[in-house]
A and B are shown apart, each in its own frame.
Chain A
Amino acid sequence: MSSKSKMSLTARAMRAASSENENLSWSGDGEARIIRDQDVTKPAAVKFDHVYKTYKLYKSDKQRLLGTVSRRVDYKVINAVDDLSFTVKRGESLALLGLNGAGKSTALKMITGVCYPTRGRIEVHGRISALLELSAGFDGNLSGRENLEMRCQLWGFTREETQALIPEMHEFSELGDYLDQPIRTYSSGMKARLGFAFASSINPDILVIDEALSVGDKRFRVKCEERVKSIMAEDNLTVLFVTHSPEQAKQFCERGIVLQKGTAVFEGDIEGACDYYDNH
């Protein structure tokens, strides 16, 4: 245990040193604005303010290519996220509930920073570790161990810190000898286990979990829940959890937001959110 707290101290120092790395505010096209820093003293971890995400749907790839050079090409507009506003306070655990296509994953992707809002304002304070759509961003041709090394390195850990962390992740993922096999040979459950082991071991400020737990078996799910609860108790971790299963959400979320067609139709405590979700 002592080694872990020492670890997290070094990691914290690293993080402080690299904080300017991501301290970028992009002011994009139109009215979209993203503020992203690592100031964990701010009371709000994530804040959405009238955020829209518009996808352009072209008839074909050819039309899309033409669309990049000319503005006269026809396309359909779909608002995956439509005027979404909410705030996640630091240390809170929030469930995003919604049917398929409600805009949950798109919202998470914008929080994580892999895609950009079309309009609105997003604030994210703190470093995010995310499991998006079951995958933590692993390269199929590399082995599990190499992927962990690569991801730790991208996160900003030094070689020593990485080597110290990997045994812990290995043990948690229960992959055994498979850790040295290429990821493409893994089953979806194995990938989710490894992804979760990585995402929860690197001391994030905000942990984003997108349905990753739904592929694991019950025993592993319970293990993950305990893990999340324990880091939440220890550090001031903020958790964002996406699911369509209210039972799972109740396990470790205090608050819930129900999304419908890209907007928040209910925001409140988790019981209320689950009731609302079940009845609509």
Chain B
Amino acid sequence: MFGLAKTFLQVLHDNWVWRRQAWELAKIDLVKTYRGAALGWIWLFVKPAVYIGVYYFTFAIGMRSAAPINGMPFLLWMAAGVFPWFFMGDMIATGSNVYRRYPFLVNRIRFPLSVISTFYVLSNMIVLVGTMAFTIIMCLILHVKLTIYLLQLPLVFLLMMYFWTMWSIWLSPLSAVSRDFSKLIATLSTPFFWLSGVLFQLDSLPRSILHVMNFNPVSWACVAMRDCFIDQRWIWSRPKMLGCYLFLCAVVTLLAMRSYSRLHKEVPDVL
């Protein structure tokens, strides 16, 4: 336990010392993703727009179940779940394997490994904040009523960032050691999408399953995001759900420190 606390302090220290570099690398990661595309930054918006369009077609036209939810447009309800999902889907699939994305930072330069996770999450977070800002602007243009509950958005972003950074610090060393493992985690992406209430109302689930969903970080993020836009309530007005999420954060922190302290010296040898 003492060892884990020490690792945790070490990780915090590294992240603090390298904060400026982490921010620059996050921007470089964005540039890299859209490198070589003539339309460049437009792709940031094209992908979400196409997906939202397809989902909307399926639900509104295909299944005819696109009634307004809590008086808010169905499209906004969907956006508040699907946009955070893009972030989390990337985290599940690629955030769990960041060292292979940046091998030269692992075995060519002296660079603290935990900061690779931080800046990768940060770079994806920039995109999420951008798409949510875009959503808010669309609401303003279309005269959709926005409320004071939007003020808790930064808190939601922070809580999401914390969890997924720890997730990445936990799984990346394991993925570096074994490709089977990285494949296994990437396979989880689709089940998480369909089971976590990204595209359905969690309330419609049976009670027993709802209890399980309390321990699903993806569900929490979708519910919290919809609290801001649709349900208009504070995230702490669901104490049980928030409590479970904070508990998950603590658990994933412990797991991350355990895997990091055991493996971070081995990763450069195997990559």
CB B114 to nearest CB in A, in angstroms, measures 13
Q: Is the CB of B262 within 8 A of A68?
A: yes
| B35 is an interface residue with CB less than 8 A from chain A | yes
CB B28 to nearest CB in A, in angstroms, measures 6
Q: Is the CB of B32 within 8 A of A142?
A: yes
A contact residues around B108 at 8 Å (CB): 114, 130, 132, 135-137
Residues A68 and B106 in contact in the complex (CB < 8 Å), given A142-B28, A150-B28, A154-B21: no
Smallest Cβ-Cβ distance to A151: which chain B residue: B109
A contact residues around B102 at 8 Å (CB): 139
| A50 is an interface residue with CB less than 8 A from chain B | no
Residues A115 and B269 in contact in the complex (CB < 8 Å), given A68-B262, A137-B109, A154-B111: yes
Q: How large is the interface on A (under 10, 10 to 19, 20 to 34, 35 or more residues)?
A: 20 to 34
| B24 is an interface residue with CB less than 8 A from chain A | yes
Which of A21, A64, A141 contacts B32, CB < 8 Å? A141
Smallest Cβ-Cβ distance to B181: which chain A residue: A65
Query: Chain A 146-164 against B: per-residue CB contact (8 Å), 1 yes, 0 no?
Result: 1000110110000000000
| B104 is an interface residue with CB less than 8 A from chain A | yes
| A200 is an interface residue with CB less than 8 A from chain B | no
Q: Is the CB of B17 within 8 A of A68?
A: no
> How far is it, in angstroms, between the C-alpha of A17 and the C-alpha of B194 when the chains are bound?
50
Q: Of residues 246 to 270 in B, which have CB atoms within 8 Å of A's CB atoms? A: 262-263, 265, 268-270
> How far is it, in angstroms, between the C-alpha of A115 and the C-alpha of B21 when the chains are bound?
21
> How far is it, in angstroms, between the C-alpha of A139 and the C-alpha of B109 when the chains are bound?
12
Smallest Cβ-Cβ distance to B18: which chain A residue: A21
Q: Is the CB of B111 within 8 A of A61?
A: no
Q: Is the CB of A55 within 8 A of B109?
A: no
| A113 is an interface residue with CB less than 8 A from chain B | yes
B contact residues around A29 at 8 Å (CB): 265
| A276 is an interface residue with CB less than 8 A from chain B | no
> How far is it, in angstroms, between the C-alpha of A125 and the C-alpha of B108 when the chains are bound?
19
Residues A55 and B269 in contact in the complex (CB < 8 Å), given A68-B262, A135-B104, A150-B24: yes
Which of B31, B105, B109 contacts A146, CB < 8 Å? B31
Q: Is the CB of A109 within 8 A of B107?
A: yes
| B47 is an interface residue with CB less than 8 A from chain A | no
Residues A61 and B28 in contact in the complex (CB < 8 Å), given A135-B108, A141-B35, A153-B21: no
B contact residues around A22 at 8 Å (CB): 110
> How far is it, in angstroms, between the C-alpha of A146 and the C-alpha of B28 when the chains are bound?
9
| B180 is an interface residue with CB less than 8 A from chain A | yes
B contact residues around A115 at 8 Å (CB): 107, 265, 268-269
Among B107, B110, B111, max chain A CB count under 10 A is at B110
CB A107 to nearest CB in B, in angstroms, measures 14
CB A272 to nearest CB in B, in angstroms, measures 33
Among B106, B111, B268, B269, max chain A CB count under 10 A is at B269
Q: Is the CB of A62 within 8 A of B178?
A: yes
Q: Is the CB of B32 within 8 A of A139?
A: yes
> How far is it, in angstroms, between the C-alpha of A230 and the C-alpha of B265 when the chains are bound?
36
Query: Chain B 105-132 against A: per-residue CB contact (8 Å), 1 yes, 0 no?
Result: 1111111000000000000000000000
Which of A65, A114, A142, A150 contacts B178, CB < 8 Å? A65
| A116 is an interface residue with CB less than 8 A from chain B | yes
| A238 is an interface residue with CB less than 8 A from chain B | no
Q: Of residues 1 to 55 in A, which have CB atoms within 8 Å of B's CB atoms? A: 20-22, 24, 28-29, 55
B contact residues around A139 at 8 Å (CB): 28, 32, 102, 104
Query: Chain A 121-139 against B: per-residue CB contact (8 Å), 1 yes, 0 no?
Result: 0000000101010011111
Residues A64 and B177 in contact in the complex (CB < 8 Å), given A114-B107, A153-B24, A154-B109: yes
| B174 is an interface residue with CB less than 8 A from chain A | yes
| B179 is an interface residue with CB less than 8 A from chain A | yes
Q: Of residues 92 to 132 in A, which have CB atoms within 8 Å of B's CB atoms? A: 109, 112-116, 128, 130, 132
Beyond contacts A65-B178, A114-B106, A128-B110: 6 other A-B pairs, Cβ-Cβ < 8 A, are A109-B107, A114-B108, A115-B268, A135-B104, A142-B35, A150-B25
Q: Would you list the 3 A-B pairs with minimal beta carbon distance, nearest first?
A: A137-B108, A65-B178, A113-B110
Q: Could you write out 9 A-B pairs with CB less than 8 Å apart? A: A61-B179, A62-B180, A65-B180, A68-B174, A109-B268, A114-B107, A138-B104, A142-B35, A154-B109
